[in-house]
Structure 1
Amino acid sequence: MDFDFSDDQVQLGDAVRKWVDKGYTFERRRAIEKAGGFDRAAFTEIAELGLTGLYVPEDDGGLGMGPVEGMVVMEELGRGIVMEPLAQSLISGAVIAGYADAATKAAWLPKIAGGEALVVLAYQERAARYKLDVCEAKATQAPGGYVVNATKSIVPVGDQADAFLVPAKINSQIALFLVERKSSGVTTRGYGTQDGGRAAEVTLKNAPATLVTTDGLTALEHAVDIGIAALCAEAVGVMDKTMAITAEYLNTRKQFGVFISSFQALRHRAADMKMQLELARSMSYYASLKLNAPAPERRAAMARAKYQLGQSMRFVSQQAVQLHGGIGVTDEYIVSHYFKRLTQMEMTFGDSLHHLGEVSARMQDTAGAFA
């Protein structure tokens, strides 16, 4: 199998890397973090690169690209630990394009592609524990459409987004709705997250909603799988940069008059970090290549990928801090921010223990050495 990127994909990655290096410096990130964890101007710059329209069809104003291009972009954003949630635009663009009616597509896809509208997935509930079929939100028909009653937690930039994709039950069936943040009955409570980003609790009380699809669970699973693939790629970028920072530190820090990179024990630990990084990279490729597979195959692949990425993220981030010593946990030093980002990513879209259970549940009867 050929894993070389096309010329267009290489150029796309180069363009994003140049923007991250020049336009999203560590100093700018620190300023955005102190200002609340989200910068609309930075998100607009991402949109001007065309990235918010990656998964939006060309007929709707997007680029009409696929999972590999999404993976390339998210890796580069990961290297700069960019906090603005491009993955949410990828999710909303793909889900609305794939499941909504023509009127909803015409109303929202051009705005998502152009960056005028930031639409985020608001699906987590307190009782769900990462299970997508657990949903207490309710939707009822009303004159002119539907109204939704729900409380959703840890919604990315929920108090800054323009609209939400919200799963809610119609009778006993989960459907997916689009709710504008400025609609009546919508309240948000924003807060900073551990990695410096931003999230919110979103409460909907008889909030007017547009029905995206009555097959909400299928659409929600697809949305989360897009998010997992994007997160896996982003995590590879974060780990790649973490590894580079750590290697640079080992090659410049001296102890007993010599560079600590000459210590065999530390070299072995760095080699183990590199091995985990490459394992993660291969599973990120696997996730992206399976994103358009049939749903059962896709869901199994995402669980496998997220489990391996979770293991790798924990190992690489913890080793990086330990190899740096005390400076590795200070807020002023860059590696601590990579550590916090990787720690939070491990728990996003399901932690490692959850996905280990998903892998186990999806194993075939013939799996195993003694089948």
Structure 2
Amino acid sequence: MDFDFTDDQEHLRDAVRKWVDKGYSFERRRDIVKAGGFLREAYTELAQLGLAGLYIPEAHDGLGMGPVEGMVVMEELGRGIVLEPLVQTLIAGGVLSGYAPEAVKAAWLPRIASGEALVVLAHQERAARYQLDACAAQATQAGAGWTLSATKSIVPVGDQADAFIVPATVAGKLALFLVERSAAGVSTRGYGTQDGGRAAEVTLKEAPASLITLDGLSALEHAVDIGIAATCAEGVGVMDKTMAITAEYLNTRKQFGVFIGSFQALRHRIADMKMQLELARSMSYYAALKLNAPTEERRRALARAKYQLGVSMRFVGQQAVQLHGGIGVTDEYIVSHYFKRLTQMEMTFGDTLHHLGEVSQRMQDKAGVFA
């Protein structure tokens, strides 16, 4: 199998890396955290690079690219621990392009691609425990339209987004809807997250909504799998930079008159971190390549990928802090922010224990060692 990237993919990587290096410094990120965890101006800069339209067809003003390009972009954003939720934009572009009626596509996809509209997935509910079919939200048909009543938790930039993709129950089955934040009956309560980003509780009380699809569970599973693949790629980028920062520290910090990077025990720990990073990288590739596979194959592959990424992110983050010593947990030092990002990502779209259960449940009879 050819794992080389095309020239176009390398040019895309280079463009995003240059923006991160020049336009998203650690100081700028700290200012964004102090301002609430989201800056529309920074998100607009990402859109101007074309990234908001990555999964949107050219017919709707997007780039019409695929999962490998998404992986390349998210790795680079991970290296800069960028707070602006491009993962959510990739989800919105993929779901609306694949499932929405033409009227909804025409109304929203060009606006998403240009960065004018930020649309995020609002699917988590209290007590759902990552189960996508556990949904208390209710949708009711009102003439030619729909109304929704729901409470959704930990919605990324929920008090800043322009619209939400919301799963709700219709006659006992899950359907997917689009709800504008400015609509009647919509209220939000924003707050900061552990990694410096922003989320919100979103409450809908008979809020008007546009139907995306009545096959809501399939669409929601696809949405979450897009999110998992993007998060895996972002995690690789975060770990890559975390390792680089840690290696640099070991090669500049002295103890007993010598650089601590010369200590064999610490070299072994760095080698273990590198092994976990490469395991994660290979599974991120796997996730990207399986994102357009048939549903059961895709779901099984993405659960495997997220499990490995969870293990790797926890290990790399914890080792980086321990190798730095006390400075590794101070807010003034950059590696603590990478550690917090890795910790939060491990729980995003299902934590490691959840995905271990998913892998187990989706195992086939022929999956044994001697099959």
Answer whether TM exceeds 0.5 for this pair: yes
Structure 2 match to 1:134: 134
**Whole-Å Cα distance in 1 between the matches of residues 146 and 314 of structure 2?**
43
Report the Cα distance in structure 2 between the residues aligned to 1:72 and 1:95, rounded to whole angstroms: 20
State the partner residue of 2:204. Answer: 204
Q: Name the structure 2 match of 1:122.
A: 122
Q: Which residue of 1 aligns with 2:292?
A: 292
> CA–CA distance in 2 between the matches of 1:104 and 1:15?
31
Aligned to 2:301: 301
CA–CA distance in 2 between the matches of 1:266 and 1:216? Answer: 49
Confirm or deny that 1:235 pairs with 2:235.
Answer: yes
Match in the other structure for 2:151: 151
Q: Deviations over 1:212-250 (max 9, x none)?
A: 000000000000000000000000000000000000000
- Unpaired segments of 5 or more residues in structure 2? none
What does 1:250-269 correspond to in 2, within 5 Å?
250-269=250-269
Distance 1:301 1:365 in 2: 16
Matched letter for residue 55 of structure 1: Y
- How do 1:217-228 residues align onto structure 2 when only pairs under 5 Å count? 217-228=217-228
Q: Which amino acid aligns with 2:157?
A: V
Residue aligning to 1:89: 89
1-side partners of 2:201 and 2:70: how far apart? 28
Residue 56 (structure 1) aligns with: 56
Secondary structure class of the residue paired with 1:252: coil
User: 1:89 & 1:349 partners in 2: Cα distance?
Assistant: 15
State yes or no: 1:359 paired with 2:359: yes
Question: Which residue of 1 is the match for residue 329 of structure 2?
Answer: 329
C-alpha separation between the residues in 1 aligned to 2:88 and 2:133? 20
Which SS does the other structure have where 1:207 is aligned? strand
Give, in whole Å, the separation in 1 of the partners of 2:212 and 2:2.
37
Q: CA deviation at 1:143?
A: 2.9
Secondary structure, counterpart of 2:367 in structure 1? coil
Q: TM-score, normalised by structure 2?
A: 0.99
The amino acid that maps onto 2:214 is T
Q: Distance in 2 between matches of 1:279 and 1:272?
A: 11
Name 1:100's counterpart in structure 2.
100
For residues 316 and 87 of structure 1, the distance between their equivalents in structure 2, rounded to whole angstroms, comes to 22
Superposition pairs for residues 31-42 of structure 1, below 5 Å?
31-42=31-42
Deviations along 1:8-66, one digit per CA (max 9) or x if unpaired, are 00000000000000000000000000100000000000000000000000000000000
Query: Residues 307-346 of structure 1: CA distance to partner in whole angstroms, max 9, x if unpaired?
Result: 0000000000000000000000000000000000000000
Structure 1 position 369, deviation (Å): 2.6
Structure 1 residue matching 2:199: 3-state secondary structure: strand
CA distance in 2 between counterparts of 1:31 and 1:102 reads: 40
RMSD: 0.6
In the other structure, the counterpart of 2:278 is 278
Alpha-carbon distance in 1 for matches of 2:218, 2:369: 33
Q: How much identity, in percent, do the aligned residues show?
A: 81
Q: 1:11 & 1:194 partners in 2: Cα distance?
A: 33
Q: Secondary structure of 1:339's match?
A: helix
Letter in 2 for 1:129: R
Tell me which residue corresponds to 1:185. 185
* 2-structure distance, mates of 1:144, 1:195: 42
Counterpart CA distance in 1 for 2:59 and 2:370 is 52
* Matched positions, count: 371
Q: Structure 1 segments of 4 or more deviating over 3 A?
A: none
- CA deviation profile, 1:280-315 (whole Å, cap 9, x unmatched): 000000000000000000000000000000000000
* Matches of 1:52 and 1:303, distance apart in 2: 25
In the aligned structure 1, how far is the partner of 2:298 from the partner of 2:322? 36
Q: List runs of 5+ in structure 1 lacking aligned partners.
A: none
**Rounded Cα–Cα distance in structure 1 between residues aligned with 2:294 and 2:185:** 37
Alignment of 1:240-251 (within 5 A): 240-251=240-251
Matched position secondary structure for 1:338 = helix
- The residue identity in structure 2 corresponding to 1:197 is G
The Cα of 1:370 is off from its aligned counterpart by: 5.1
Q: CA deviation at 1:366?
A: 2.1
Report the TM-score when normalising by structure 1: 0.99
Residue number in structure 2 paired with 1:27: 27
Aligned to 1:316: 316
The residue type equivalent to 2:164 in the other structure is F
Residue identity matched to 1:8: D
CA deviations 1:83-130 (Å, max 9, x no partner) are 000011110011001001111000000001000000000000012100
